[in-house]
A and B are shown apart, each in its own frame.
Chain A
Amino acid sequence: MTHAGATTHHTSLGLDNRKMAFWAFIGSECLLFTSLISTYLVYKGRSVVGPYPHEILNIPFTSVSTFDLLMSSLMMVLALAAVQRGDMKWGKIWLFSTALLGLVFLGGQVIEFTEFVHQGLTIGTNLFGCTFFVLTGTHGAHVAVGVLWLLTLWVRALQGKLGPANAMTVEITGLYWHFVDVVWIIIFTVVYLIQ
């Protein structure tokens, strides 16, 4: 991606413009997810009809999803390290792997959601359905955008247009990806483990 202009300019704080913008964006997203999580917590236990969380949440399955996402963060950071040192072979491998694990996570969400619907929990069934699906759905949408973003970077790398000179793009992609992972860490605890 051709953002060379932004990085070579001197800035007042000596910090990259895009990196600064992105951290501001992540700060903003904290408020977005907090509103969703707070709603989940405030409405916990208030469903008038079932199914209820303890009847339907699958901890073993979700634990695997959680591991998957955590490992994808490792791959993301390995991808960044590779691109920064100019090792594009491993840069491409790790970028693709991150996206792949992201897709696996999304696949897991699809399986989970389908299973829930079969067991009678849809988005409109009860408050648990509303808050659960909107919260995890928003998170999943963020993962999907991330996968698209990663695959785009991977394709650019295949085209030879990604390298240490524009490693900042990979770094910022990483910030997004890790943030999405961190949100999942919270969701896993608050929704699945604390019932």
Chain B
Amino acid sequence: MSEEHQHPTVDVYLRVAAALVILTVLEVGVFYVPAFHAVLVPVLLVLSAAKFALVVMFYMHLKADNTFFTFLFGAPLVLAVGVMVALLLLFFGALTLRGAAGAG
């Protein structure tokens, strides 16, 4: 195997775990605290994206690994997000007949 990568230390893994726990606590907190309900969706999306990134970059080692793996995962991921957004727009947005009729 010709791949050189520094293994993150156990220390890094534990700190990532702590961050994941804190982020989850924050997520549940945002859910329960009524004051945050106005910004619930964007905040939750950001928090869960952060958890996603931590697991992928450190536990799945993507940050330290060859960039090609990032492409192999990233391209379908971007595609998937694009498809999801498109479907949401097609079903909910002004793109529907109902939406367009309502607009004019």
Contact = CB atoms under 8 A, between A and B. Distances in A.
Instruction: Give yes or no for direct A-B contact (beta carbon below 8 Å).
Output: yes
Interface of A: 7-8, 10-11, 13-16, 19-20, 23-24, 26-28, 30-31, 33-35, 37-38, 41-42, 59, 63, 66-67, 70-71, 73-74, 76-78, 81, 84, 168, 171, 174-175, 178-179, 181-182, 185-186, 188-189, 193-194
Given A67-B21, A70-B24, A41 B80 contact: no
Nearest to A28: B76
Given A27-B76, A38-B88, A182-B52, A81 B7 contact: yes
Contacts of A27: 72-73, 75-77
Q: A interface, by DSSP: helix, strand, loop or mixed?
A: helix
Contacts of B24: 63, 66-67, 70
Contacts, number: 128
Contacts of A66: 24
Q: B interface, by DSSP: helix, strand, loop or mixed?
A: helix
Given A14-B3, A41-B84, A194-B41, A81 B10 contact: yes
Given A31-B83, A66-B24, A193-B27, A185 B75 contact: no
A23 B28 CA distance: 31
Given A27-B75, A67-B21, A178-B55, A34 B48 contact: no
Nearest to A175: B60
A74 B58 CA distance: 10
Interface centre among B16, B27, B92 (most CB of A within 10 A): B27
B56 interface: yes
Interface in B25-45: 27-28, 30-32, 40-41, 44-45
